[in-house]
Structure 1
Amino acid sequence: MNRERQLELLRLLEEDGRRTAEQIARLMAVPVAEVEETIATLEREKVIVNYPALINWELVDDHPYVTAMIDVKVTPKRDVGFDEVADRICRFPEVQAVYLMSGVSYDLSVVLEGKTMREVATFVSQKLATLDSVVSTATHFILKRYKHDGIQFEDRDEDRRMVVTP
Structure 2
Amino acid sequence: MKEILEILESNPRIAPKEIATMVGITEAQAASKIKEMEKEGIIRKYKTVIDWEKAGEEYVYAIIELKVALRERTGYDAIAERIAKFPEVRSVRLISGDHDLSLTVRGKSMKDVAFFVAEKIATLEQVQGTVTHFVLRTYKEDGDVLFEKERSERLAISP
The normalised TM-score by structure 1 is 0.87
Equivalent-residue separation in structure 2 for 1:40 and 1:153 (angstroms): 31
Counterpart amino acid of residue 14 in structure 1: E
Corresponding residue for residue 78 of structure 2: 84
Equivalent-residue separation in structure 1 for 2:99 and 2:66 (angstroms): 6
Match of 2:33 among 5, 16, 38: 38
Counterpart amino acid of residue 43 in structure 1: E
Equivalent-residue separation in structure 1 for 2:151 and 2:112 (angstroms): 39
In structure 2, stretches of 5+ residues that fail to align are none
Superposition deviation, residue 80 in structure 1: 2.7
Deviation per residue, 1:54-78 (Å, 9 max, x gap): 01112111x1211111001101223
Q: 1:58 is paired with a residue of what secondary structure?
A: coil
Identity %: 38
Corresponding residue for residue 69 of structure 2: 75
Q: 1:109 is paired with a residue of what secondary structure?
A: strand
Superposition deviation, residue 38 in structure 1: 0.7
Equivalent-residue separation in structure 1 for 2:122 and 2:18 (angstroms): 48
Equivalent-residue separation in structure 2 for 1:144 and 1:49 (angstroms): 28
The normalised TM-score by structure 2 is 0.91
In structure 1, stretches of 5+ residues that fail to align are 1-5
Deviation per residue, 1:117-157 (Å, 9 max, x gap): 00100100000001111000011111111111111112349
Q: 1:135 is paired with a residue of what secondary structure?
A: strand
Equivalent-residue separation in structure 1 for 2:50 and 2:89 (angstroms): 17
Paired residues for 1:46-57 under 5 Å: 46-57=41-52
RMSD: 1.9
Q: 2:49 is paired with a residue of what secondary structure?
A: coil
Match of 1:143 among 130, 136, 148: 136
Equivalent-residue separation in structure 1 for 2:16 and 2:5 (angstroms): 12
Counterpart amino acid of residue 101 in structure 1: I
Q: 1:96 is paired with a residue of what secondary structure?
A: strand
How many residues align structurally? 155
CA distance 1:20–1:130, change in 2 (3 Å): same
